[in-house]
Amino acid sequence: MIKIISLVLIFLLIGGIAFAATITSPGIGDIMGQGQFPSDPGRTFRLVRYVPTGGNDNIPSLTADSAVIWSRVSDDGVTITTTTQTTDSGFAGIVPNAISTPDFGALGATVSADIGRRNWGFLQTYGLSQGTMNTVGSVAAGDAIGCAGEAGRIGRFATGTTASASDNSATLGNMGFALDAIAASGTNGAIFLRCE
């Protein structure tokens, strides 16, 4: 019995070494997918601060799975906010967890003055994620997605084929695509982000 167990362990050890030997380095650079297992999808996260657009520090916090854009008011590359423009080219990513609004009275603070306050959190910019559809429209699996006309929501990517100012090719913002069909009315679904 001990011989059989020993042989099985040796076989597993050799099999594990052979598997590892088939993976070669792609070269210098960042390697995505630093999960616990090779089957874990690669994702990229960034630390950001949330400042509501034209609001105040009493408006609701960002909820998990909110779609956000880079703030053009703070224009620091760290601050995010929401948009109601369906073709917003400033799309930043999806907030995986809720982020609070700025501390009371700190709405106009600079990034450096805001460090350590409650309005900081993580933004996902690449990989498998979840998004919440707007209340009108839906997407099929494989459809390109972008910002919706409702703050924090996603919608079907505008094609830029009309003369409408809101469908201008200069403002189109493709954030990725839907992995599954997602129905309207605030349904949450699987998406793949490509924001970097």
Q: Which residues contact 77 (CB under 8 A, 6 or more apart)?
A: 70
More confident residue, 13 or 121: 121
Task: Please report which helix (H) or strand (E) contains residue 111, including its range.
Answer: helix 111-114
Does residue 163 register a pLDDT over 50? Answer: no
**Left if phi > 0, otherwise alpha if psi is -120 to 50, otherwise beta: which for 135?**
alpha
Which residue type sits at 76?
D
What φ, ψ does residue 185 adopt, rounded to 5°? 65, 40
More confident residue, 85 or 23: 85
- CATH top-level class of 44-194: mainly beta
Does residue 64 register a pLDDT over 70? Answer: yes
In this predicted structure, what is the pLDDT of residue 101? 85
Determine the 3-state secondary structure of 10 from DSSP: helix
In this predicted structure, what is the pLDDT of residue 70? 93
Task: Answer yes or no: pTM beyond 0.85.
Answer: no
Lowest mean per-residue pLDDT among 13-17, 124-128, 134-138 = 13-17
Percent of the chain with pLDDT over 90: 31
